[in-house]
Structure 1
Amino acid sequence: MSAGRYRTPVTLEQPVVTHGADGTASLVYLSAGADFAAIRPSRLREELRGERLEGVVTHEIRLRHRDDITGGWRMSAGLRRYRLLSVAQGDDRGTELFCLAEEEGT
């Protein structure tokens, strides 16, 4: 994929678990920088699994290769927020990441 296809500005957010003085744990997301991505809708639905609704992959996202991104990260593009479900090398040269994501709040 050529660099011109990464047209959507995104903000990457890394999950961090914090522990309170009372022993409680909280998941927060810290900004891990800005980048550009190609975001493409995939399936737009939820499925009933085990008597509860679970989200399914709604978008495929491609961006330039980074070593630090894993599943569980979040990505924001404008007012839309995506939860990265899986992250894999997108090509044989190691220049691109392919992510399966679920749009939050849909």
Structure 2
Amino acid sequence: MSAADELDRAMRLSRPDRIEAADGEAETVFTDVGLVFVALAPASLAERQVSGRLGGVATHVARLRSGTAIAGGWRLAEGMRAFRVLAVDDAGRRSGLVTCVLEEETA
């Protein structure tokens, strides 16, 4: 069985878009870019330090096909659950997969 065979969850992938109003206010909205198949697992690390401060709590790790355009700040969603992408590691792209460190968002 290949690594791609483990991609057993269908999740919605969304990219952040910054919308700026004429008065200078800005907000981030998420634009759905489609359905991707993901292998999702709990993270082995509890938190990540970035420049001496907590950059986010890594709750899950996801693997998906390396041809998928994804970057930090994007979002993966499955039903009522949403996950913010903290980091993307494409070192495994030769195997056809990229690994993402995720933080599950709470309502």
- Please show how residues 1-106 of structure 1 align to structure 2 within 5 Å: 1-42=2-43, 55-66=56-67, 68-91=69-92, 93=94, 95-105=96-106
AA aligned to 2:32 is S
Superposition TM-score, scaled by structure 1 size:
0.82
- Give the length in aligned residue pairs: 102
Q: How much does 1:4 deviate?
A: 2.0
Cα RMSD after superposing both structures? 2.5
Distance in 1, Cα, partners of 2:45 & 2:35: 26
Superposition TM-score, scaled by structure 2 size:
0.81
3-state DSSP of counterpart to 2:94: coil
AA aligned to 1:2 is A
3-state DSSP of counterpart to 2:64: strand
Distance in 2, Cα, partners of 1:6 & 1:44: 22
1:50-84 Cα distance to aligned partner (Å, 9 max, x none): xxx87410000000013521111000012210000
